[in-house]
Structure 1
């Protein structure tokens, strides 16, 4: 049973626009060769991750959300469709998606597309990490991403977890209470918490997790 859902329908829009303003200047000035670097997403380069991000957002903008649209096979087809595109066209499509998808997501009654907005932010972290840039899975947008993670973790039926984050006065409360099971507890930095929930590599991280397994926390499978 999901806990009460304090969804803010405009939170995804604010996250996407904030990330647009931070990410697009970086992408526009990065040498094209860097887009062929591999990312944390198995088999995908930075260019392919961004092609996927652009395609997903524009599908939302244009209402092309047929059944199975965000399954791995459909994502791969969207990326393959863009293999012949100039990089600039992919970046233009991505910027359009960042700018226009939020209001459409806000209008969805059940909030199912909120997780897409959070996923776009996580993928921006994948690209930053591939480029060797600081701020992967944190940065200025973190204050918007964490409350969206709270909502998404409940909708994806992860177990309740209290996250005590370095440098933050109040813990985050994620997931759903399970009868007879005490909340799990996480101690560490916010970027590593994002990695845990998004299934990103945990090499060189340091954290404490009790009462749940990493697999139970995944919101993207």
Structure 2
């Protein structure tokens, strides 16, 4: 049996059979359906004063129709949704906390690395400064050593010059003393003797002796000044 035939059989069973009634012989066949009353499931629309009246919804019946199992299912469904939402929130919160802790750890590591680099740079600068200072001190020590040697040689030279000046002053003093002797004798002779003692020494001899005495006294004075100058220089060097 095909699908079409099965559908036609179903339609034939559900719908009433059509009977053909004829008006008479030779007339056209008009199908006439039997009259029967069908109760409408949809209630008719009510009107009051020209307005359509809508019956109120029967909520009580619907509420009563709901079984306890369905209520339990709803409650369990809502609880499961709440649990799922709370679980997702907790998971998100934990993930955010973990991410924030990782970021804080990275920031701390970066900060420590920056501080280490800064300390290394300062240490390198200090080492470079110490090297330069050591080289400078070495150079200054060499310069000071040479200067000290020069000062030492100059002091020795000054000592030699002082000794020479001292010897010259001693010689001048001895010469002055020797020159003073005839002058003293002359003065004594002038006092004690008369013209005879003065005639023994000529005027030219007295003039030469006087000039020699003056030159020696001037040299003695210059020697004293030179000695004082060298003593001052030695005190400054010490």
For Structure 1 versus Structure 2, the TM-score category normalised by the shorter chain is: under 0.3
Which structure would you say has the larger RCO, counting Cα contacts within 8 Å and 6 or more residues apart?
A: 1
Identify, as 1 or 2, the structure richer in helix.
Answer: 2
What is the TM-score when the length of structure 1 is the normalising length? 0.20
TM-score, normalising length from structure 2?
A: 0.19
